[in-house]
Amino acid sequence: MEPSSYSPHYDKLRAWMKQKREESGLSLRAVSEELGRHHSVIGKMEQDRRKIELLEFVEYCRVIGADPHEGLDVMLSKSAENGASLSMHSYSVLGAVRPSQINPMTMCI
């Protein structure tokens, strides 16, 4: 099974993150300095070479002036358009639903 951080759902989120950073006029180095991280960490996060941690994502959005909810909405709406479904893990990580709300027999809410 492929790790959830390397799924097509995250590809949409990564593309959104990079687009918003570029629209803000900030370089990888500028964002990394504000976050106190090496620029390669931010680059790897945008390029699908590093897992996106939730709190890092929220801080990244704060630095570039983007709404993290918008990024999650883009990821979820594009997934639905493509007929892709999110796993129980993805829903619970995103905070869309609590694991206790999911019927494990059908993977439905």
In this structure, the chain runs to a length of 109
Give domain limits for the chain: 4-101
State the pLDDT at residue 100: 52
Per-10-residue mean pLDDT of the chain, 109 residues long, equals: 65 94 97 96 91 93 97 78 51 48 45
State the pLDDT at residue 76: 85
4-101 in CATH: which number?
1.10.260.40
Helix (H, G, I), strand (E, B) or coil at 103: strand
- Nearest CA to 17 out of 98, 81, 72, 55 is that of 72
State the pLDDT at residue 65: 98
Helices (H), the chain: 8-24, 28-35, 39-46, 54-64, 68-81, 88-94
- Please tell me the pTM assigned to this model: 0.68
Q: What is the number of alpha carbons within 13 Å of residue 16 lying toward its C-beta?
A: 24
State the pLDDT at residue 86: 53
State the pLDDT at residue 62: 97
Using CB atoms within 10 Å of the CB of residue 108, give its burial: 0 to 12 exposed, 13 to 18 middle, 19+ buried. exposed
- Nearest CA to 92 out of 79, 109, 80, 68 is that of 109
State the pLDDT at residue 105: 46
State the pLDDT at residue 3: 52
State the pLDDT at residue 4: 56
Task: Tell me the C-alpha distance between 41 and 64, whole Å.
Answer: 16
